[in-house]
Amino acid sequence: MSEQRLRDNPTAASGPGQMAVGKIAVSADMAIPPGTPSERRHTVSLWLYLIGAVAFLFGCYLLFLEDTAQTRLTLPSLSPRTELPGADTRPAARAEVRAPVAQIAAAASGIAVGAVAVDPRRTLTTEFLEGLWHDAELAGVRRQTFDRAFQGNTNLDLDIVALNANQPEFDRTVGDYVGMIVTPERIAVGRARLEQHAGILEAIEKRYGVDRHVLLAIWGIETNFGLAKGDRSVIRSLATLASAEPRRAAFWRGELVAALMFAEQEKIAPERLVGSWAGAMGHTQFMPSTLLKHGVDFDGDGVRDVWASVPDALASAAHYLQASGWMAGRAWGREVVLPADFDYLMATPAASRSLTAWRVLGVRPQTGVLPTIEEGTTWQLVVPSGAGGPAFLVSPNFDALLSYNRAYSYAVAVGALADRLAGNPSIQAAWPKGEPPLSRDQRIELQEILVSLGFDTGGVDGVLGMKSREAIRNFQKGKRLPADGYPSSSLLTRIRSERRL
């Protein structure tokens, strides 16, 4: 890095040294000592040699100082996928994430944190671009398109590296998330958009069988009805992630190639592919591979334009949900009331059953009546925040929503907002209070204790999948606790006490 800087600006390093040598040489001429001409010449020569040697050494010393200062300012590159030890995992504004990046870079290099700056010139390597071109060419991308995509666009976006490392870990409870999404303002704007786009929504419903209120809810959640689509270069974002995030490099690289393919196929300039820092694009935030596969040109202008065309974006979302198993005419789910002493082991996909079977088990709708015309569909009981919060019977359409975003909180928020847009009541049961979600470290701790107690969590990785939930259920069952499989902070407290026994 410092060598590069020296080449770019040689005077920056050598200037001070030369000036010092010059000044000393001038003062040597003025200090010629007395004596015979030959003696004087000899003495002068000796003095000049000595002064020259001192000046040379002094110049070298100044150069060394300058080089050290430059090293301090041009920190080495961030190690790919640097973890942020002790960093705040809540969503961070761009300005806020800059500080940890500098600190980590400094920590990694062993240089004290001070006035540090991350080198802004980090670029994609030739090796990366050559390998990418190989993949892109095989995928049918022309060299012209590829070159245009990376023209002046090869510097990494270091904000993204920090954002990716700093992703929030379930920083909100399901209740908080739903409350944040389903607001009077969003409902009001959504209802206005329903009227504004009634004709398009009618046509999309007819073509794909997806409820218009669900499409509006997705639009409202993803980009606040198009107000926050993101304006980062998706090519640059994905290239940054593909080259700086080795853990999921193949995924990001695949999305990057898909983005290039999309630009090629739609004849869209690559710089028009803008979106979120993680590469999601347009009104309904499609990743490139999903857009490539499920994007729809609904307004018929020849381009699948999910950025400028609301019909294209909403139809693409409907097409994707249809492909993900959406069943026309079915509700996403219904809030229900469970009988006392309900066996929460029934709240698993394996226990899905017909509405008639749920009625027999004493499950009642929170408001109104359970649908009767939807027989033939199995419904799953979901308690997104455990036994202490609302319960839902959900149809396969809930799974289709999960294909958009795997978080239960997301699917419940879409369903709840869609219900409100359709004029139905909001969720009635209260969400549990004072139960902050577990951090990654706490989830790992929970898994470690479960394993030490003889339960199979399917690994200790901080990801509480089906096996970990099952392990929690089995633990709860043994302790005669409601076996909802929910990893609450009170469960962690309880299980810690078990370990000590």
User: Which residues of the chain form contacts with Ca ion (CB under 5 A)?
Assistant: 297, 299, 301, 303, 305, 309, 312
Joined tokens for residue 310 = 């609301």
DSSP H/E element including 51: helix 37-73
The alpha carbon of residue 477 and the mean position of all alpha carbons in its chain are separated, in whole angstroms, by: 36
Cβ distance to Ca ion smaller for residue 290 or 309: 309
Cβ distance to Ca ion smaller for residue 308 or 444: 308
Q: Which residues contact 10 (CB under 8 A, 6 or more apart)?
A: none
Cβ distance to Ca ion smaller for residue 297 or 399: 297
Minimum CB separation of residue 8 from Ca ion in Å reads 46
Q: Is 222 within 8 Å of 215 (Cβ atoms)?
A: no
- In angstroms, rounded to a whole number, what is the distance separating the alpha carbons of residues 426 and 219? 19
Cβ distance to Ca ion smaller for residue 181 or 296: 296
Minimum CB separation of residue 303 from Ca ion in Å reads 5
Q: Closest-CB residue for Ca ion?
A: 297
Residue showing tokens 């990654």: 440
Cβ distance to Ca ion smaller for residue 305 or 484: 305
Minimum CB separation of residue 256 from Ca ion in Å reads 23
Minimum CB separation of residue 309 from Ca ion in Å reads 5
**Burial of residue 390 (number of CB atoms within 10 Å: 0-12, 13-18, 19+):** buried
Minimum CB separation of residue 126 from Ca ion in Å reads 37
H helix runs in 182-308, sequence order: 184-196, 198-208, 212-223, 234-244, 249-266, 288-294
Minimum CB separation of residue 305 from Ca ion in Å reads 5
Cβ distance to Ca ion smaller for residue 320 or 431: 320
Cβ distance to Ca ion smaller for residue 303 or 492: 303
Minimum CB separation of residue 313 from Ca ion in Å reads 9
Cβ distance to Ca ion smaller for residue 223 or 309: 309
The alpha carbon of residue 397 and the mean position of all alpha carbons in its chain are separated, in whole angstroms, by: 25
* CA distances (Å), origin 23, targets 28, 51, 230, 353: 9, 11, 57, 92
The alpha carbon of residue 225 and the mean position of all alpha carbons in its chain are separated, in whole angstroms, by: 20
Minimum CB separation of residue 302 from Ca ion in Å reads 7
- In angstroms, rounded to a whole number, what is the distance separating the alpha carbons of residues 381 and 409? 15
- In angstroms, rounded to a whole number, what is the distance separating the alpha carbons of residues 195 and 211? 15
Cβ distance to Ca ion smaller for residue 312 or 335: 312
Minimum CB separation of residue 262 from Ca ion in Å reads 13
Residues in the chain: 501
Residue showing tokens 């089906």: 466
390 phi and psi, to 5 degrees? -60, 150
**Burial of residue 501 (number of CB atoms within 10 Å: 0-12, 13-18, 19+):** exposed
